[in-house]
């Protein structure tokens, strides 16, 4: 980071960078871009030539030497590591949210937890400031400037599915199950047991299947609503886990009458 502490080194880096990015530029072009007088830029070029960082191609035009590339590479790498660490520290104090409505950069926003996600919307009395613009539904970076209500545990709705010997997915009222899923579009859907998996697929839903119980518990702790299609032989184990975790749940039976 030494290059930032010395005006001479900072200008040296800028001049070498310009020569690398635009091989047709001359002293006058660089002086104008860096807001330097012709006399000042001339002195810098004399030093760079004397130190072996650039060579003269023909009058007024130059190229960077291997020594110049090495110096530039080392200092750019130092700057990169410094800026990367700084950006990570700044972003670690920020929040990534889903935009509710269009948001402009530096807009005052209110952000909150809902269904396991963080949302943000424009608000004069907000608890954050947007660090970028975003359209409705896009991800947006928000700087927190106030407190917020922590997420409450999500509610779990368990839909019983008979074991295959008792009819399996054939014995589930698919219309009622579909209505439930449609009414809770932000809830995630998981399936425990093959019968439950097939039931979900019959209403056009591909649920989370592998690791479903762990996903259900983790999602509920994060505030997300969860619909669990659960084969009856696995029901007791699921309910014990939900009770142990202090998660609210409701059991629904969409069993078709014969």
Express each pLDDT in 224-238 by its tens digit.
Answer: 999 999 999 999 999
Write down the pLDDT at residue 1: 60
Mean pLDDT of 213-222: 93
What are the structure tokens assigned to 12, written together? 């040296």
**Residue 60 main-chain phi, psi, to 5 deg:** 90, -10
pLDDT at residue number 77: 83
More confident residue, 92 or 244: 244
Mean pLDDT of 214-231: 94
pLDDT (mean) for 134-151: 86
pLDDT of residue 98: 96
Whether residue 182 has pLDDT greater than 90: yes
Q: What is the pairing mode between strands 226-231 and 156-161?
A: parallel
Q: Is the pTM of this model over 0.75?
A: no
CATH number for domain 156-253, candidates 1.25.10, 3.40.1010, 3.30.1660, 3.30.300? 3.40.1010
Task: Please name the residue that has the structure tokens 């990534």.
Answer: 96
Predicted local distance difference test score (pLDDT) of residue 153:
86
Which pLDDT belongs to residue 178?
97
- pLDDT at residue 142, rounded to an integer: 93
104-118, 128-142, 228-242: lowest mean pLDDT where?
104-118
**pLDDT level of residue 60 (50, 70, 90 thresholds):** confident
pLDDT digits (tens, 9 = 90+) for 77-108: 888 778 777 766 655 568 899 999 999 999 99
What kind of architecture, by CATH, is found in domain 2-91?
Answer: Orthogonal Bundle (1.10)
Would the pLDDT of 115 be above 90? Answer: no
Least confident of 81-85, 133-137, 160-164: 81-85
- Residue spans per domain, the chain: 2-91, 93-144, 156-253
Question: What is the end-to-end Cα distance of the chain in Å, rounded?
Answer: 77
Do the Cβ atoms of 230 and 238 come closer than 8 Å?
A: yes
Mean pLDDT computed over every residue of the chain: 90
Query: Residue 93's pLDDT is what?
Result: 63
Higher pLDDT, 235 or 61: 235
Q: Residue 87: its pLDDT value, please?
A: 62
Q: Which two tokens stand for residue 59?
A: 């009058």
> What is the 3 state secondary structure string of the chain?
CHHHHCHHHHHHHHHHHHHHHCCCCEHHHHHHHCCCCHHHHHHHHHHHHHCCCEEEEECCEEEECHHHHHHHHHHHHHHHHHHHHHHHHHHHCEEEEEECCCECCCCEEEEEEECCEEEEEECCCCCEEECCCECCCCEEEEEECCCCCCCCCCCEEEEEECCHHHCHHHHECHHHHHHHHHHCCCCEEEEECHHHHHHHHHCCCCCECCCHHHHHHHHHHCCCCEEEEEEHHHHHHHHHHHHHCCCCEEEEECECCC
Tell me the mean pLDDT in the region 169-196: 96
CA-based R_g, the chain, Å: 31
């Amino acid at each position: 980071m030494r290059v930032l502490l010395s005006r001479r080194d900072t200008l040296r880096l800028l001049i070498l960078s310009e020569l690398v990015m635009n091989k047709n530029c001359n002293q006058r072009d660089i002086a104008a871009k860096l807001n330097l007088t012709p006399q000042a830029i001339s002195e810098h070029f004399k030093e760079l030539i004397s130190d072996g960082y650039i060579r003269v191609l023909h009058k007024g035009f130059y190229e960077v030497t291997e020594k110049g590339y090495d110096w530039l590479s080392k200092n750019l790498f130092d700057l990169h590591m410094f800026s990367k660490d700084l950006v990570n520290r700044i972003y670690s104090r920020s929040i990534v949210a889903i935009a509710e409505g269009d948001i402009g950069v530096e807009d005052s926003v209110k952000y909150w937890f809902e269904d396991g996600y963080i949302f943000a919307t424009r608000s004069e009395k907000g608890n954050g400031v947007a660090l970028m613009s975003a359209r409705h539904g896009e991800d947006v970076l928000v700087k927190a400037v106030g407190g917020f209500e922590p997420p409450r545990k999500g509610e779990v709705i368990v839909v019983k599915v008979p074991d295959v010997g008792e009819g399996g997915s054939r014995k589930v009222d698919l219309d009622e199950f579909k209505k439930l899923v449609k009414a809770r579009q932000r809830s995630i859907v998981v399936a425990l047991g093959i019968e439950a998996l097939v039931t979900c697929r019959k209403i056009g839903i591909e649920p989370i299947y592998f690791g479903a119980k762990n996903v259900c518990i983790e999602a509920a702790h994060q505030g997300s609503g969860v619909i669990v299609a659960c084969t009856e032989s696995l029901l007791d184990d699921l309910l014990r886990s939900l009770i142990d975790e202090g998660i609210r749940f409701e059991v629904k039976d969409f069993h078709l009458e014969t």
